[in-house]
A and B are shown apart, each in its own frame.
Chain A
């Protein structure tokens, strides 16, 4: 099946710094990538949708200037959490979808801890 990777798997950063999370589709071209956030014991919440080569579409309530998304190639999307605060600590999950299939393939997630 299609494989999506994320890097890093875990990251700890200090409050006020920025951190970048990468999402890669390893064996298919992902025309669309999605970013989710999941707090402990809660469900996944969609943050934004990005299409290769165009600006991301953010869900209501998600600050686009804080969560910068870049989808510059068909295999890579990045999420940068700028000026991170402890409340941004969460599990960030990406998924990817090609234009040939409906299914979205999920990455393993990135655990962000802001101290």
Chain B
């Protein structure tokens, strides 16, 4: 299973863009990169998934360089409600077992 490494924590201010990077040096050819958000005492919530280049949805963007050994979750204009833990997972969509290992996550604190 591809292991992921993320910063333990990050601080930001309201209205700023936040970029959280995840390293996954041994990502496999069939692996996708998925990001989840978790608020205290809640289950994780899907944010975005990508394979290569750039993916954008109404919540975030995901940037993946050509070598796919890292990825960056970009949250535009964060608000206080974006304070949460963000997890990066790497795995094969066709093999659910590969997408079940949560790393340490990044604890984002958005300040007023």
Q: For A46, list chain B residues within 8 Å (CB).
A: 100-102
Q: Are B97 and A43 in contact (CB under 8 A)?
A: no
Q: Are B96 and A45 in contact (CB under 8 A)?
A: no
Q: Type the 1/0 row for A21-58, where 1 means its CB is closer than 8 Å to any CB of B.
A: 00000000000101010000001111001000000000
Q: Are A95 and B43 in contact (CB under 8 A)?
A: yes
Known contacts A43-B102, A43-B103, A43-B104, A108 near B43 by CB under 8 Å: yes
> Total interface residues on B, using CB and 8 Å?
19
CA distance A91 to B102 in the complex (A): 15
Q: For B42, list chain A residues within 8 Å (CB).
A: 108-109
The number of chain A residues touching the other chain, given as a range, is: 20 to 34
State which residues 54-98 of B face A: CB under 8 Å.
Answer: 87, 93-94, 96-97
CA distance A36 to B97 in the complex (A): 13
Query: Would you call A113 an interface residue if the criterion is a C-beta within 8 Å of the partner chain's C-beta atoms?
Result: no
Q: Are B96 and A44 in contact (CB under 8 A)?
A: no
Q: Are A106 and B96 in contact (CB under 8 A)?
A: no
> 9 smallest A-B Cβ distances: which pairs?
A106-B43, A102-B93, A44-B102, A43-B102, A93-B43, A46-B100, A106-B44, A109-B43, A107-B43
- Please give the residue numbers on chain A whose beta carbons come within 8 Å of chain B beta carbons, in ascending order: 4, 6, 32, 34, 36, 43-46, 49, 91, 93, 95, 97, 102-109, 111
CB<8 Å pairs between A and B, sample of 20: A6-B43, A43-B87, A43-B102, A43-B103, A44-B44, A46-B100, A46-B101, A46-B102, A49-B97, A93-B44, A95-B43, A102-B93, A102-B94, A102-B99, A103-B46, A104-B99, A106-B43, A106-B44, A106-B45, A107-B43
